[in-house]
Structure 1
Amino acid sequence: MTEITELLVCVKCKRGTEVTGDGERPGTRLMEELQARGMPEGVVLKAAECLQNCDHGCSVALRGGPAKWTYVYGNLHETSHLDTLLEGAALYHEAGDGLIPWRTRPEHFKRNCIARIPPLEDNNG
């Protein structure tokens, strides 16, 4: 069975701005823009209520099965980083352990990783 990759988008992110008059937050807009684009094969998009990175949002997390590292990325813009997120999610999905080689990571991922969380399973045997 192929593992599924989840791209979790913080829909509460305000990206350091005030919520608009209609109440829409940049994190919600990021989620909507990604839904409209569609996900790479093997990647599912999910809303997250809060990733606790409020001053450095929009924020997302990429996670796979219990043998994969999980990553949290911040400083994302709801319209200008869509291609970066889709590329990064596809690369993450293809990486068996979730570790995308540094040279092939999207530039934004290299500079805006908030956290890297070890897998649940010990891969070192």
Structure 2
Amino acid sequence: MTTWITICDTCKRDGWETRAPGQTDGERLAALIETAAPEEIRTRRISCLMGCSEGCNIAIQAEGKLSYTLGRFEPAPDAAEAIVDYAARHAQSDTGVVPYRDWPQGVKGHFVTRHPPLPTE
């Protein structure tokens, strides 16, 4: 079962124009996550996860597992590494539940929503 990191590439934090003109914070975070993700963790970009007040936003999903939306990330290498680390732990879990003690420090305080898996019937 493939775990996906979906990255909002339109997220803009305050002052984004001065950090990387012509590139949103979401695009910057997406590039960092794509570079950090191993082959078994898939990534995709989407224009708007509708969490603008919580940007930068990502979702971690896999068929038949709990899915999570996380936000309030800076577009920085340490954030990307924590996101990928959590996604790897999600991939190893049968249900998508990662015990709190195993959460990377960089994702703590960033969870926005949790979604149950879609029904199979």
Q: Larger % of helix: which?
A: 2
Distance 2:86 2:24 in 1: 23
Task: Among all aligned residue pairs of Structure 1 and Structure 2, give the percentage whose two residues are the same amino acid.
Answer: 27
Q: What TM-score, normalized by structure 1, do the two folds share? A: 0.84
Q: What TM-score, normalized by structure 2, do the two folds share? A: 0.87
Residue correspondences, number: 118
Distance 2:25 2:90 in 1: 24
Give structure 2 stretches of 5+ with no counterpart: none
* Structure 2 match to 1:11: 9
Q: Please tell me the residue identity of whatever aligns with 2:21.
A: D
SS of match in other structure, 2:33: helix
Match of 2:47 among 32, 46, 49: 49
* Structure 2 match to 1:64: 62
Distance 2:22 2:95 in 1: 38
Distance 1:109 1:32 in 2: 18
Shift of 1:35: 2.2
Q: Report the aligned-residue RMSD.
A: 1.8
Distance 2:51 2:31 in 1: 20
* Structure 2 match to 1:84: 82
Shift of 1:77: 1.2
Deviations 1:21-80 (A, max 9, x none): 73210000111122233x134210100111111122111000001x20110000111113
